[in-house]
Amino acid sequence: MSLQLNQIVPDFQVETTEGPIGFHDWIGDQWAVLFSHPADYTPVCTTELGEASRLQPEFAARGVKLIGLSVDPLEDHHGWADDIRATQGYALNFPLIADRDRVVSSLYGMVHPEADPKVTVRAVFIIDPQKRLRLSFTYPPSVGRNFDEILRVIDALQTSDRATVATPVNWRPGEPVIIPPSISDEEARKLFPQGWDAPRPYLRYTRLPS
Answer yes or no: 129 catalytic: no
**Residues 123, 138: contact at Cβ < 8 Å?**
yes
Q: How are the residues of the chain apportioned to helix, strand and coil, as percentages rounded to the nearest 5? A: 35, 25, 40
Closest listed residue to residue 168, CA positions, set 180, 181, 177: 177
Burial 135-162 (b: 16+ CB within 10 A, else e): bbeebeeeeebebeebbbbbbbbbbbee
**Residues 99, 69: contact at Cβ < 8 Å?**
yes
Catalytic residue, candidates 45, 67, 69, 127: 45
Which residues belong to the active site? 45
